[in-house]
Structures are given as structure tokens and as C-alpha cells.
Structure 1
Amino acid sequence: MSFPPFFCGLPFTTRQAGKKLNWLLGGGEVRQVLKGVYVATETPDTPELRAAAAALVIPADGVARAETAAWIHGIPTAALNASDQVPIRWTRNPADTVNLGGYRVTNPPATGVELALHLPRPFALASIDALLRSGRADRATLEALLDKYEAHQAQLRARQIIKHADPRAESPGESWLRLRLLDAGFTKPDLQVQVNGPTRDYRLDLGYPDPVDGVRLGLEYDSDRWHSKDHQQTRDASRRTELAALNWHIIPVRRTDLWGSYPALELAVGAFLCTWPRLPRRW
């Protein structure tokens, strides 16, 4: 099929597509990348493509920042609803920038600092964890950049988020769970805990390796995607039975355990560690 020039691997807007858009979407010829911005389906998803898409919805002298820049760099900022649209954030007075395909975007460290300052705490921590895991920024760089925001009302909160960040966290759910534990006043758990068994080895998302009456505590975040089907839950139950035989008590945690005011998670962890949690929940 022959496309007009703006369909040939380049992003385009609803206005540019005109009446052909619904037909192209119906035929699977194009996909949406931002609200009101589309690209041919076979076009590879790259930071340069995303920067070009963002440039269509921000002013010519604007620079993508915050969540928009995070999306361009591939840094996740939320995971409650995969269909959420990427917020369009831009500025004419950027901090440090990088050029992607001819378009300016705040660089990963500057983007990370903005996320720590402006996102809700659980999403901020998950984003900074992911940024550190990507290797495109380190804690010292983020802390140094944050010094420029001394007058910002959220600076202290952002500094705490950066302090808590850990590149070993492998999913937003693990980051949220760790923040719940820290907010409750428990000591920082170890991450990606290795447990050696007689026939196989295990890895726990988080854990407290110091035994209590000979038993250690592990916590695992069970995402809806990988732990909701019957055969997945049967597998999980068998795995935890095996870990119990190795003197590990496992607390499985679902998304619903992390969001809301009921402190069942904190009370369960506190009962095992013989520590009363700090309540009420902060988020």
C-alpha cells in the first residue's frame, strides 16, 4: 500500500491523517503512540521515533520533560493501567538535555530528578529503580542534580526516594512493596534473595535473611499477569511449600494488598518480625 510521505516511517497527527485515519486504524496499518499521534504499524519503536512523536504535540521551542521524557527514554512511570495515555510535559527552560533524532529531551538523570520531585512516591520510587537498573544514571548523579532544587517544596521527599532506590528491583510491584515496608518502619529488606535447596535454587523478590526462631521471612510480589491463573497459583503454592521445608516463611503480596488503607500486609510482617508497624499507611 502506498502511504503519503508522513506515513512512511514518520509519526503524524490526527489532523495530518484526515479522513483516512479510521480506515488505517481499522486495517491495522497504523498504531497510536501518543494521544493524537500515530505511526505506521511496522515502524520500529525507538527513542528517536518517540521524540519525533512528542515534537508533534509540544511547541517548536519546547523540550520534552518529566513523564514525556521518561516515556521517550523507556523509563516506566506507572503500571496500574497499561492503557493510560502518556502525559505531555514540556518546558522552555530545560536542565540538561540530549538530542534524539534532532529533537531535544531532558537527559535520563535530569528526567529522573523531575520524576522524583513530581510523581506520587510509589511511582517515583519504581521509576528511579528502573532508571538505576538501566545504567543511564547513578545515585550520586541524581543527588547532585537534586541540589539545584533546594527551594523546591518536594526536595526532601525526592531525596528520600533517591536514597531508597535500588537497581535490583525488577518490577514496579517490587518497588511498591519495598516502600510499604520502609514506610511501616521495618528495616530495609534484602532484594533478589538467593535460597539454595537440595534439588534446586530459589530467588525471592524481597526477604529478611536473619532468622526468627529458626525461620526466615520472604516476600514475593505476585503480579496479575503471571500469578492469576489456576496453574500459576498451583505452581506458586508448591514452590512455597518447598521453601517452607527450607525454613522460609513466604508472604505472597498482590496488587490489592499494596493499594488501600487496610494494613494487613504491615501487620503480617510485623507479627513475624515481632515489630509493631508504623501506622496508618501513608498511601
Structure 2
Amino acid sequence: MDLITTAAARARGIDKDELTRLVDTGEIHRLALGAYYAGDHPHALAVRAQIIAAVSGPTAIICRRTAAWLWGLDVLPPGKTSHDWPVELLVAAGERTRPRRPGCRGHEAEITSADITLLGGVAITTQERTALDCARFLPRLEAVAALDQFLRRRVEIESLQTRALALAGRRNAKRLREVLQLGDAGAQAPSESWTRVLIVDAGLPRPETQIHVILPSGAEVFVDMGYPNQLVGVEYDGEKYHSSAEDLAHDAWRRAQLRECGWELVIVRKSDVLGRPADYLEDLTGKLLSRGWRPSTEQMTFVLTRLRMLRNREARFRLYAA
């Protein structure tokens, strides 16, 4: 790590004016009070995390979204990049005041040594503790998406549920239990997690994930999520894998084959999830009803009420942004 502290620079005969000149010429980068970096990619979150953790002392532990990023998972909010995101540090309750460095966000919480490990020489919350914190403190849709990614990493849901019970009465304990109930390791991307949570929250049956189907051609495919008994599937089309002419042609062939097998499909895109979820949820509701789903009057009233609420941008924000 190419870390240069003010004290280390002074020991080498480099005074404050020379440090300022080196920063102005781009030879080094000032990342925090008293901390400079002489390597490549100074604004990368992993670099900033190492630097800030080093100058914040041994009691500061990388946590939450920053920890997830260092573990190789992207749980940053939509529209945010790793260059934009502050380094999040967890400080044991009562240990010291929260860090107040530029580009740093401090959180005070109880933590045991079993929840701390070293990754690249940096103290960081374990994958299990990071999953627990993300599920507990992130907004609902993002929390489930983060949890799904950790479950795919084989973090055990049973262990998280046991820990959640011990947090009864604490801040966000109820939210944590709800998020853990929604977790599903079958989600292949955060967008699929969001799509699934919106379905469940609308009062529709919880879909299965990664449904194995053998096409008439003999090819084996997996429907993102859906209902095998009703042969109704929901697929999320992300820009990365569903934009080129080749991708679109393959999607058309694959979905024609699925329809030959009797499947009805609801195709969801980013604009649907973020801006118009009621549209795809209404489409899904109609397809499920036409294929034999028989909700009670109370269930159907809830679905219709939720769809109406989701068409209101402010109501949607109140439900999912906090």
C-alpha cells in the first residue's frame, strides 16, 4: 500500500509545503487528513478503504456497503459508483467517537472479535456480519438484494435468523426479520431481487427462482422466477445481456420455445422496476388469474390497493426509500 502519512513524510525531510506541491502536480493524492497516496487509482473504494482504515486506528472496522464491496459484492445504491461512495467504518459502542474524516461515514455498534477479520491487511466485518448489517440497515429492496448475494456466497440464513432473534427490541430488528424471510439465493442479480420483492409486497404468491425448463429443441434453460404450476414466468431483461441484436434474437427464440411449452411470460426492465412497477405487477396478476390462481376477496383487495399505491411516486418513495 503506497500510504504516506504526514509524520512519515516529515521523517523523510518532506515538509508541508512540499506535500502541497506534490498534491498540486498530481504526484501524490491527499485522501484524508494527514494521509496521502502515491499509487494508481487513488479514488477506488478499495484504496480509500485501506488508507482511511490505516489512519483511523485499530478500533475502526470497515463495514456495511463498503465491506460488501471489498468482499466482491456490489450493494451500492442505484446510480452510485464505487468512486462516489464514502468509506464506512464501524466503531465499537463506547470505544471512541465516530471518525470524522472527509469521504468517511462512521457507525457505532456492538461488535465482537468473532465478527472481525482481516482482508488484504484491513480489519473488516466478516461476510456473515456484513450480510446481517446490510439486511438490517439498508432500504428494503436494497437490503434483500444484498442478502441474496451473500446467500449465494453460502452465508447461512439459519445463522442470520438466530442472530436476528437476539436483536429483538433493537433498532431495525423487525425490518431485519422481514428481510431475512424474503432472502433467496436463486437471484442472479440485484435487479431480480428487486423484481421479486415487489411481487411479494404486492400480495402476489411468492415466485420460485431459477426454474429449470427443457425446451422442445432439447436445450435446458432457467426462467428467472415464476410459478411452475401455472406456467407463468417473470424474466428481468438487463441492459448488459439483453441489448445487442444477437441478444435480442436469442431472447426471441428462447421465449418462443418457452411459449411452445405452455409458458406465459412477463418481461421486466429497469424502467419498470424503478419507475412503473405497477404495470408489470398488473400484467402478472392477470396472467396468474387466467391460469388458475384463486385469491380470497381479502387478498385481491390488498393486491388492488397496493397496485394503486405503487402508481403514486411519493407513496412508493415512502415505502421503499427509507
Q: TM-score, normalised by structure 2?
A: 0.70
Q: Does 1:117 align with 2:136?
A: yes
Contact 1:192 1:205 in 2 (8 A): yes
Residue of structure 2 equivalent to 1:227:
242
Shift of the alpha carbon at 1:105?
1.6
Cα separation, partners in 2 of 1:54 and 1:132, compared to 1, 3 Å: farther
Contact 1:51 1:105 in 2 (8 A): no
Cα separation, partners in 2 of 1:262 and 1:139, compared to 1, 3 Å: closer
Corresponding residue SS for 1:210? coil
Residue of structure 2 equivalent to 1:81:
79
Contact 2:62 2:123 in 1 (8 A): yes
Shift of the alpha carbon at 1:37?
7.8
Q: Does 1:65 align with 2:102?
A: no
Residue of structure 2 equivalent to 1:173:
191
Contact 2:65 2:88 in 1 (8 A): yes
Corresponding residue SS for 2:76? coil
Corresponding residue SS for 2:229? strand
Contact 2:67 2:124 in 1 (8 A): yes
Partner Cα separation in structure 2 for residue 144 and residue 97 of structure 1:
19
Corresponding residue SS for 2:78? coil
Partner Cα separation in structure 1 for residue 251 and residue 37 of structure 2:
40
Residue of structure 2 equivalent to 1:155:
173
Residue of structure 2 equivalent to 1:254:
269
Partner Cα separation in structure 1 for residue 277 and residue 118 of structure 2:
46
Listed as ranges, the matches of 1:140-219 within 5 Å are 140-199=158-217, 200-211=219-230, 216-219=231-234
Which 10-residue stretch deviates more, 54-63 or 99-108? 54-63
Partner Cα separation in structure 2 for residue 167 and residue 220 of structure 1:
16
Shift of the alpha carbon at 1:117?
1.4
Shift of the alpha carbon at 1:102?
4.2
Contact 1:208 1:217 in 2 (8 A): yes
Partner Cα separation in structure 2 for residue 51 and residue 234 of structure 1:
43
Shift of the alpha carbon at 1:149?
2.4
Matched length: 260
Residue of structure 1 equivalent to 2:50:
52
Shift of the alpha carbon at 1:189?
0.8
Cα separation, partners in 2 of 1:262 and 1:206, compared to 1, 3 Å: closer
Residue of structure 1 equivalent to 2:99:
none
Shift of the alpha carbon at 1:226?
1.4
Partner Cα separation in structure 2 for residue 39 and residue 210 of structure 1:
59
Shift of the alpha carbon at 1:139?
0.7
Residue of structure 1 equivalent to 2:147:
128
Structure 2: runs of 5 or more not aligned? 10-18, 93-109, 290-294, 311-318
Residue of structure 1 equivalent to 2:278:
263
Partner Cα separation in structure 1 for residue 48 and residue 150 of structure 2:
18
Q: TM-score, normalised by structure 1?
A: 0.78
Write out per-residue CA displacement over residues 131-174 of structure 1, whole angstroms, 9 at most, x where no aligned residue. Answer: 11112x21111112223322234211111111111112111011
Provide the identity percentage.
25
Q: Which structure has the larger Rg over C-alpha atoms?
A: 2
One-letter identity of the residue aligned with 1:263? A
Corresponding residue SS for 1:259? helix
Shift of the alpha carbon at 1:119?
0.5
Shift of the alpha carbon at 1:103?
3.3
Partner Cα separation in structure 2 for residue 71 and residue 37 of structure 1:
22
Contact 1:12 1:56 in 2 (8 A): no
Write out per-residue CA displacement over residues 18-61 of structure 1, whole angstroms, 9 at most, x where no aligned residue. Answer: 65568769xxx99x9xxx9867459xx9x8x7863441464553
Residue of structure 1 equivalent to 2:314:
none
One-letter identity of the residue aligned with 2:67? A
Contact 2:236 2:269 in 1 (8 A): yes
Contact 1:191 1:206 in 2 (8 A): yes
Q: RMSD over aligned Cα, in angstroms?
A: 3.3
One-letter identity of the residue aligned with 1:170? Q
Cα separation, partners in 2 of 1:148 and 1:243, compared to 1, 3 Å: same
Partner Cα separation in structure 2 for residue 119 and residue 179 of structure 1:
14
